[in-house]
Structure 1
Amino acid sequence: MTAADIMGLDPTAQRGHLAKRISILDAAANVFCREGFSGANIDMIAAEAGVSRQTVYNHHGDKANLFVAVVREITERANAGVFATLATFPDQPRDLEADLVQFAMRLNRNCMCNRDGKFLRKLIQTEGERYPELFEAWRSDGPGKTWAALAARFARLAHAGYLEMDDPDVAARQFLALVNADLHMSLMLGVTPTDEEVASAATNAVRTFLRAYGRRPQATAASSPAP
């Protein structure tokens, strides 16, 4: 069905078509992550989505096209979550460490530990070599833009005197790496970190980051020599 066909549907039919499309993409994501691209097939996906195999073909054509649609859909949702979280960055912090810890926790919960983050990470790990150009688009539209947006926010904090840094782009990449560091192994193994683990990882990350980039106290004047 083409976009023009969808636009011609009544509102109820449009909602039904959209719900079916989302159901197919979510089911396909589950199957691709569980079985890999090679092990997945349209019958599995149709059964999980609760639709006929012909419905899947009508929406996406074949398995390869469906996989591309899944990656693009998850990428769009993941990027939307990242930028919604970036909008909560503490531009005017009352307590810099505490506010950055809360922000780091939101990044992990909303972007790394959520369902879309898990799907995307698994698909990149298992299918990145099969579709390098598809995941390169994810890299430029996802992490590439996230780094730049976060760097701009750190630059503003530095300009306001909260931080000291020569290169906000490097600082932004290092912050994101630190935020994920303690959770990396759990996430690689598909284990969902507990709230306590997310809080601990965020605290460790921010304290390490501030030891590198926190504003240092001004040196005190040298003591006068003893008479």
Structure 2
Amino acid sequence: MTTGIAPDIALPRSHSAKRLCIIEAAARVFCREGFAGANIDLIAAEAGVSRQTVYNHHGDKEKLFVAVVQDISDRTNAAIFETLSTFPDRPDDLEADLVEFAVRLNRNCVCNSEGRFLRKLLQAESDRYPELFSGWCDQGPAKIWAALGARFARLAHAGLIEIDEPDMVARQFLALINADLQMLLQMGRQPSEEQQRQSAQNAVRMFLRAYGKRP
């Protein structure tokens, strides 16, 4: 019985699925064992493939680690930019709308599985192996700061907030919205919806005290 799918179409899908399986397995192993403690045999076993398959797809452990960071960063960025598209450019209630936006950022980008993976890898390995994260800041956070800063600049142009440096304001906003969650996240605990909302409310109130339009 034929599937009706041409071989040259089916094979790349199988290859892509296997590559993703290895990436996800490697992420779990690196998070659990650290870069130094991980090895290709552990990753192959976790992925259910041969060690040669891992080498064929990604080369050595260092290249695989970089691929893991890149893949998680790409997925994290995709979630963040999708959420940024919901930024309240024309708010009916600036505080309430920013709180809802902050809740979405926490839920979709900070407290999701990709955010937890990336944070754990950064905390564990960035000091010891900075070369493995070279380029990550420019490809991830810097783009996000600029995109969010541009949205805050539009609010300022509309006379709703008063800011001088949009990128800096974006960094401060992102730091504020998960400040109350950091201890839980560092302990590996998932903040509840209520905790995420409370953190967002605290952040937005403080943000508007600093940058809200003065009467």
TM-score of the aligned structures, taking structure 2 as reference length: 0.93
CA contact (8 A) 2:65 2:132 kept: no
Matched residue type, 2:84: L
Specify which of 51, 54, 60 is matched with residue 53 of structure 1: 51
Confirm or deny that 1:71 pairs with 2:69. yes
2:4 aligns to what?
none
TM-score of the aligned structures, taking structure 1 as reference length: 0.88
Q: Distance in 2 between matches of 1:167 and 1:138?
A: 23
Matched residue type, 1:39: G
Compute the displacement of 1:150 (Å). 1.1
Structure 1 consecutive aligned stretches of length 4 or more whose deviation exceeds 6 Å: none
Structure 2 counterpart SS, 1:88 = coil
Specify which of 94, 102, 105 is matched with residue 104 of structure 1: 102
Structure 1 counterpart SS, 2:127 = coil
Structure 2 counterpart SS, 1:187 = helix
CA contact (8 A) 2:30 2:38 kept: yes
Compute the displacement of 1:111 (Å). 1.2
Compute the displacement of 1:181 (Å). 0.5
2:29 aligns to what?
31
Structure 2 counterpart SS, 1:68 = helix
* CA root-mean-square deviation: 1.5
Q: Distance in 2 between matches of 1:38 and 1:167?
A: 40
Matched residue type, 1:103: F
Instruction: Give the unaligned 5+ runs of structure 1.
Output: 1-8, 218-227
Structure 2 counterpart SS, 1:183 = helix
Compute the displacement of 1:136 (Å). 3.7
- Judge which range, 65-74 or 202-211, deviates more: 65-74
Specify which of 140, 146, 166 is matched with residue 138 of structure 2: 140
Deviations 1:59-80 (A, max 9, x none): 1122121111111111111112
Matches within 5 A, 1:120-135: 120-135=118-133
Q: Distance in 1 between matches of 2:148 and 2:58?
A: 36
Instruction: Give the unaligned 5+ runs of structure 2.
Output: 1-6
Q: Distance in 2 between matches of 1:131 and 1:137?
A: 13
2:40 aligns to what?
42
Q: Distance in 2 between matches of 1:30 and 1:36?
A: 10
2:10 aligns to what?
12
CA contact (8 A) 2:62 2:132 kept: no
1:91 aligns to what?
89
Matched residue type, 1:195: E
Structure 1 counterpart SS, 2:76 = helix
Deviations 1:174-217 (A, max 9, x none): 11111121011111121111101000000100011011111122
Matched residue type, 2:115: G
Compute the displacement of 1:99 (Å). 0.7
- Judge which range, 106-115 or 135-144, deviates more: 135-144
Matched residue type, 1:23: C
Over alpha carbons, which structure has the higher Rg? 1
Deviations 1:19-63 (A, max 9, x none): 100000000000000000111111211111111122111111221
1:209 aligns to what?
207
